[in-house]
Structures are given as structure tokens and as C-alpha cells.
Structure 1
């Protein structure tokens, strides 16, 4: 079984994730903007000033090329995220609306309440009003699952998330105020995205998402004899979600999380955050474990082949969590269906109990889905529509 140590390729010093979190100082978009994105990434990951590493994702770029694209602002359609049905580019949103959008995912925020405020305080027929209506429409929490969300005391816990801070900056820099229905048609991205993919991952974990996963792993009746449910992070990539879960501050009455990162190594990342990735096929790992008490976590599951459907069908536990697209762009899971639509049509014994928006990079529309198995038979309300 191969194990990968934490590393950042072509860095000056050994990459130490704990040190990065403890010394993280780029918590404000203004700080990042003043130093520049390029310099902040170089500093955080100890990269050479002459760094020429080529980041491959949906496109290819170097860190310097990404900075050049940032400096170009919205020229040549680089910020054309919002188009009407008639293909007319909508004027960019004001900075105050962008700040209101990113604040939805602040660790201190109550997501549902913040969504309501975001929508109700928007100017009539503004981008923000359309986005607010869309996000509220997609938001879904089964009444029985509300206790999984962070309460006021949990939202006061210390939380450092470098990806989230960098994402906030990207929203302001790229004039992005969140997804709306027409985001489904967005087919381009920005040079910053491959940098994020390689150093942090495909999608940013919000505090709310991490807390929900941590809660799902807790035994149903916490006692000294009850064990925490293992979290199988299948397709863990560079391990950022696993690392953030392992380092999440939790309540004293909660049991420490046991997260198992599993990845076959088919994708390359410049930065790897963890040392114990299990380098095997996801289906093989699930079948070997054969656990009925586990939580399955799929972060940005790939579309090609039968990976997603095979993993879902092999899993014997009672909880599935997926971080992926919530529109019809086909970026994750399945090319022609969102994950909740596919499960509703192919795994009727599972019910959607939660769909929360995630911090979405410009041009993306991502969410956290939670499904629970109905042990009594066919589940109900699997589409999440009330």
C-alpha cells in the first residue's frame, strides 16, 4: 500500500501543512490584492521567484500567467460570467454584493438566515436578486436534519481555511457574486482555477460543510462505548478535504474524526496535504472494508467512465455526502444529470436530506449533498423538493 507524504513540488522547503495553517496571514482579500495573488501563493508554498511549474486542469497555466490574467481584469471577456438568454453580457456586480455573497459561507454565518438576507436586501431585478432567488430555491434541509448544521456555539469556534480566504479574494477579483440559472451554460473559466485545483482541490469546503460531515460521523447515541463512524473520502485527490476534517475544531462532546483518504493517483497535484492516502481503486477499498456504519464522501467525483455509479452502488453504509455541481453542466458525477437526480432514479432506497450551496469558483455552481439510506424500503422526497 503506497503512502504519499505531504509535499509541494518544486518548492524551496519541505511542505508542512500544519505550519501553513498556523502562520496563515492572507485572511483578507485586501491583503492578497496588495501583495498580489502570485506572491501570496509563492510565499505560502515556498515557491521560487522564478517558478515556472505548469498547472494542468481544464486548461494549462503558470502562476505568473495567472497573475497576468488577473491584471487584465475583465478585458477580452475574462469576467463575462453572467449572460442573459439573449447572450447579452450583464454588467458586473458592485463590490458590496460580492462581499455579501462570500459572507454567506463565513464560519460565523447561519447559512439559511444569511441566504434570506442576501436575497431580501438585494435591489429589485439585480444580479444579486436573481442569484439569491436561485440559491434559496436550491437550498434544502430536511427538518429532521437541521440539527446537523452548526449552531451558534459551533459557529464561534476557531476555524482557519486558506482555500476559503483565497476563494473570497477570487470572487472580488473576478467580479463573481454567485451562480444563477444561466451558469449552466458557462463553458470557460479563469487562469486562477488550475492554481486552486493543484494547491487546494477542486472545490472549497465551507465550515458549514465540514461541520455537517463531522456531525454525520458521530454515533447516533454518543457514549463512551460508541465508536465514531469512519469517513471514506473516496477520490480524495490531494487530500485537502481530509486534512480540513482532521483539523476541524469540534465540540468537547464530539468524538475525534476518523477519515480515510482513498485515491488511485490517476490525477496529478502539485501539492499533497496528507501522508496516508490509500492508493487503491475506490470500489476495491469499499468492498474490502465492507462497513455498514461508514460515511461515504465524494468530492468532485469524475464524470468519465463508471466511477461514480460504481462507488455509490458498492457502498453498504447509510450516509453518502457528495460535493459537486448542482446544475446541468455535467462537471461532476454524471454528464447528463445532477447527483440528486441520478440517485432518485437509480437508487430509490436513498433520500436527499440536505443540499447546501458551497463556495463556488467563478462560473461554477457547487453544492454539498447529503443522502441517507431508508432501511425500511423506498425513500421519499429524494429530489429534495418540498
Structure 2
């Protein structure tokens, strides 16, 4: 099950700025979600939805991001990440483990870590998968045998760059904006110079105004110097 993706798809006609306003009303949020999210955020969503479905859609992202994840996991993206990973993933900055749980459902051996367990400034209290409390760089250094996955490394925070520098494996799965609201210049400088993109047609749905993406990368190999 992937309720985040399903809710986003169901609400899609009322999100953003559609040329033709949809008719009818969007589906109600699942009872289990309403019971689990922050009541103040839910109250704002309900008030905005009472004004119009489109107004409700404008507040839906905040509600779902804090309960599930920052990037929306489409079935195609999950399948691509699982296949690319070789079956073993280290998810650093895993938050509440939503992506990790869905990848594990596909048979991937996922080790999820985060230095700041939920709830924190980014995520609510929901826990979707076991997440070990561990520094990202320490985890990356300890698990070169796993594909390194990082999702929305915090803006202006060296976490992502430190994890990448410590990692001695050969594959990276990156989720988030390429630059933009993620990471540091050092992170993207390293990704652009030391790693190469693996072509993939898998895409992730985007909230209005967001430019996040799924990027698969292999470490570049330095040609052997002649003796």
C-alpha cells in the first residue's frame, strides 16, 4: 500500500492552477490519516477545504509531507530505485522511514538511519519503518556494501556532503531538488564531478512549485594511469 501516492493522485485535479476547474469534490482523507496527523494542521486543512477544494489543496502538501515524506513515491520510482540498488540500501536522513518501508515491501534490504528521530522540525510523529539513530556520515562509512540513498538533504546543512564524502560504495539514489532547496554547493559539486547519472524514465509526482526528482548515480571510475 502507498497511501501518500494514492491521496496525491486522487486530489490531483484540485492542486495547482488547473486551466479548467474540476467539478465535484475531492475525496475525504482516510480516517486513519486524520487520526494520526497534527490536529492544528488538520484544522487548517479543514477550514481551507470548507472555503473551496482548491484552497484545501493548497494546505494538503504540508499535512502529507509531515506524515509521509517530502518526495512522493510513485510505483515507477520505487521499482527503479529497488532495481538500481542491487537489493541493499542505506537510507540516511530517512525521517519516518516511509520510502524505506515501501522499498522493503519490494524485497529490498533497507537500513534506515537518521540523527534526529521523529517527531522533529521536518516530520510528525508517525513511524513507518524502523529507523536507527545514527550520524549520516558514520552510517555511510560503515556500509559501503549498500547503495546510499538520501532524500531532501537539508538546505545549507553539510549532512549530505559529509555522508557522500564518507561513502566508499559505488551507487547513490538521490531524491529532492537538484540544488534548489536542498543540500549545499559542496554536495552538488561532488555529485556533478565524481558521479555520473544513470538514465532512467522513472519520475516522481511533484507538488506545485517543487522541482524534486529521482536521480540514480554511479561513481565515476578514474582510468588507470599507464606505468
TM-score, length-scaled by structure 1: 0.47
Mark the CA change 1:321 to 1:263 in structure 2 (over 3 Å): closer, same or farther: same
Change in Cα spacing, 1:353 to 1:312, as seen in structure 2 (3 Å) is same
Name structure 2 gaps, 5 residues minimum.
Answer: 15-23
Question: Which protein has the larger Cα radius of gyration, Structure 1 or Structure 2?
Answer: 1
- How do 1:67-216 and structure 2 match up within 5 A? 67-73=46-52, 174=57, 190-216=58-84
Aligned match of 2:109: 258
SS at match of 1:368: strand
Q: In the TM superposition, what is the alpha-carbon distance from 1:362 to its structure 2 partner?
A: 1.6
Shift of 1:217: 2.5
Distance 1:216 1:44 in 2: 33
CA distance in 2, matches of 1:53, 1:281: 31
Query: 2: distance between equivalents of 1:52 and 1:294?
Result: 34
Counterpart pick for 1:333 among 183, 204, 211: 183
Contact 2:38 2:124 in 1 (8 A): no
Gaps of at least 5 residues in structure 1 are: 1-17, 55-61, 79-172, 175-189, 219-227, 249-255, 379-386
- In the superposition, relative to structure 1, how do residues 311 and 46 fare at CA in structure 2: closer, same or farther (>3 Å)? same
| Offset at residue 314 of structure 1 (A) | 0.8
Q: Is the 8 A contact 1:349 1:377 kept in 2?
A: no
Find the counterpart in structure 2 of residue 372 from structure 1: 218
Q: Deviations over 1:261-281 (max 9, x none)?
A: 10112634231112x211111
SS at match of 2:96: coil
**Does residue 1:272 correspond to 2:127, yes or no?**
yes
Match 1:288 to one of 142, 147, 169: 142
- Give 2:44's aligned residue: 65
Is contact 1:236–1:263 with CA below 8 Å preserved after alignment?
yes
Matched, 1:303 2:155: yes
* SS of equivalent to 1:47: helix
Instruction: Note the C-alpha offset of 1:25.
Output: 9.7
Change (3 A) 1:46 1:294: same
Partner in structure 2 of residue 353 of structure 1: 198
CA offset at residue 72 of structure 1?
Answer: 3.3
Q: Deviations over 1:321-368 (max 9, x none)?
A: 101114x5x21123x69x656522xxx331112365421112111110
User: What does the per-residue CA deviation read over 1:115-155, in whole Å, with 9 as the maximum and x for residues that have no partner?
Assistant: xxxxxxxxxxxxxxxxxxxxxxxxxxxxxxxxxxxxxxxxx
Q: Report the alpha carbon displacement of residue 73 of structure 1 after superposing the two structures with TM.
A: 4.0
Give distance in 2, aligned partners of 1:200 and 1:333: 20
Q: Normalising to structure 2: TM-score of the pair?
A: 0.76
Structure 1 counterpart SS, 2:112? strand
Give the number of aligned pairs: 207
Q: Relative to 1, partners in 2 of residues 1:36 and 1:257: Cα closer, same or farther, differing over 3 Å?
A: closer
Cα pair 2:10 2:27 within 8 Å, conserved: no
Offset, 1:211: 0.9
SS at match of 2:173: strand
What is the Cα-based RMSD across aligned positions, in Å?
A: 3.4
